[in-house]
Amino acid sequence: MCDLKRWIKKSSEPVSKNYNQHSIETHTISESPNKRNLAGLVAGIYYTNWSPYDPRNHFLPEINTDQVSHIYYAFFLVDAATGKIKSSDKWSDFEKPTDNYKCKLTGGIGTLFQLKMDEFRLKKQSFKAIMSVGGWSNREAFSIMVKDESKIETFINSCVETMFEYGFDGIDLDWEFPEDDGVEPMKYYQMVKELRIQLDSLESSIFGKSNRRFHLSVATPGYAEKLEILPIKKMDEYVDLWNMMTYDYYGEWSESTGIHCNLYGNKSDDQGLNGDAAIKYMIIKHKIQPEKLVLGMVLYGRSFTNVEVSNTNQEPVIHCSGQSFKGVGGVSKEEAGMWPYTRLPLPNSKEIYDPQYGAAFCYNSQTKTMVGYDNIDSVQTKSKYIQELNLAGTFWWESSGNTWKKESYSLVNEFYINAPSIRKNSTNIYMDEKCRQFYAANFKGQGFLSNFFGTT
């Protein structure tokens, strides 16, 4: 890896209101409903470097790139000892053969770069490939790293250098989550600010001026308890998109059942755990422009087992929320209670879309298992919500859960056909001769993309 530091300039209240769907009318938020539609809706999707392994067996070329605006490659990790970022799986990232896909580079990162370049050549536009850093399992490393200013500087430099060497169009920060200790939230702000400054400085070094070609987003908590500790307004100056994680509201940690990706809440059991509350908190409390907010959707469900339902005239009355349970089941070895969307609804279960919550669930009366998730109906509801509030769009966690080969069942396709248009990138940085010359001058034939650039 080259040392880009010589090109990069070094940068010199508690929530009491419940922002649910009853707190403010939509028309008071959406002042210019057609403003964003001219650029198209964001349709981002996270691709994980563990997807190629059993049981997912999912590969990047399966993604319909026509239907997405951003592909977030997850995850690069923070090394707590040094502050540098590192691959979490070198074979999957850099060495894995590309199978049947014609690619001059290897590994998932090579395939992603090739996909982007191919799409641009064919259509003169493409998705943005974003390097996602962190994730839930890497959360403690952030807390260790930010205690040392020299590690923060190393982290910033490492992020920008790695992003550029591997052909990414930007960085997505995913620290889950800073503690409310009076220190970590401001360190997060410092990281965001300095990343933005250095990304702009790198761009100016390549092109002579900065137009924010390099993307910077933040994977953002979806509820007030975590949002209120962040200096959101200060961070917003440097953030391009806020990827709101409006899911995981209910699970094995909960006292009672609920749909974990509910758009709306309920007056009797809400507690602000819903996507609408999170979105309106950002807009009302912090005056964040709706066009920068991305509503998260899911390609997995969370289950509860031993859920009893009442009966009226021999018919079961199923309530998705507030029921007692014992255990969560699920098919994921990594996390209890998880079901990929490809396995839903459960066999022999009844699927119900609940408009009160803006999400779906299924219930198997024999196993007494309930699973909450997004389905075709909830994507339609959320798509309408996004357009009515003039939000940026949506993103999904994560791509292995979608039914890419069966479009009628694909949630990504459903959003695509309900969107006025999908935002596309008409300026591919790595197709520009200035970028290629800058890359060659700095990596001198040793960069990950050097062979690609040398043979095109």
Do the domain assignments include residue 23? Answer: no
Q: What are phi and psi of 227, to 5 degrees?
A: -70, -35
Domain hosting 138: range is 4-12+31-298+374-454
CA–chain centroid gap for 210, Å, is: 25
- Would you say residue 124 lies in a domain? yes
- How many domains does one find in the chain? 1
Q: Name 421's bridge partners.
A: none
Residue 119 Cα to chain centre, angstroms: 22
**Of 67, 177, 39, 85, nearest in space to 399 by CA:** 67
Decide if 8 is inside a domain: yes
- Tell me, what's the pLDDT at 25? 40
Contact 144, 189 (CB under 8 A): no
Helices (H), 47-183: 90, 107-123, 139-145, 149-165
Indicate the pTM of the whole model: 0.92
Among all chains, which residue has been given the structure tokens 């699973």?
371
Q: Are 382 and 360 in contact (CB under 8 A)?
A: no
Alpha-carbon distances, residue 169 vs 50, 127, 129, 215 (angstroms): 21, 9, 5, 6
Q: Which residues pair with 316 in a beta bridge?
A: 311
- pLDDT score for 312: 57
Residue with tokens 């255990």: 327
237 part of a folded domain: yes
CB proximity list for 167: less than 8 A, separation 6 or greater: 109, 113, 116, 129, 430, 448, 449
Q: What is residue 19's predicted lDDT score, i.e. its pLDDT?
A: 47
* Closest listed residue to residue 360, CA positions, set 343, 342, 341, 377: 377
Active site positions, annotated: 176
The pLDDT value given to residue 324: 93
- The token pair at 71 is 């592909």
Domain assignment of residue 347, yes or no: no
| CB 322, CB 422: distance < 8 Å | no
**Confidence at residue 10, expressed as pLDDT on a 0 to 100 scale:** 38
Task: Tell me the HSE value of 413 on the side-chain side, using a 13 A CA sphere.
Answer: 11
**Alpha-carbon torsion (402, 408, 409, 415), positive or negative:** positive
Q: CB 14: neighbour CB atoms within 10 A?
A: 8
In a domain, 310, yes or no: no
Q: What sign for the dihedral angle of Cα 301, 306, 307, 310? A: positive
Per-residue DSSP letter, 133? E
| 283 vs 295: CA distance, rounded Å | 13
| DSSP designation for 126 | B
Cα separation, 299 vs 415, whole angstroms: 13
Domain CATH number, residue 414: 3.20.20.80
The answer to whether the CB of 141 falls within 8 A of the CB of 184 is: no
- Tens place of pLDDT per residue across the chain (456 aa): 444 433 343 333 333 344 444 343 433 444 444 454 568 999 999 999 999 999 999 999 999 999 999 999 999 999 999 999 999 999 999 999 876 677 788 999 999 999 999 999 999 999 999 999 999 999 999 999 999 999 999 999 999 999 999 999 999 999 999 999 999 999 999 999 999 999 999 999 999 987 888 999 999 999 999 999 999 999 999 999 999 999 999 999 999 999 999 999 976 665 789 999 999 999 999 999 999 999 999 999 999 999 988 765 555 567 888 899 999 999 988 899 999 999 999 999 999 999 999 999 999 999 999 999 999 999 999 999 999 999 999 999 999 999 999 999 999 999 999 999 999 999 899 999 999 999 999 999 999 999 888 754
Confirm whether 155 is domain-assigned: yes
Query: Would residue 204 count as lying in a domain?
Result: yes
Q: Are 452 and 104 in contact (CB under 8 A)?
A: yes
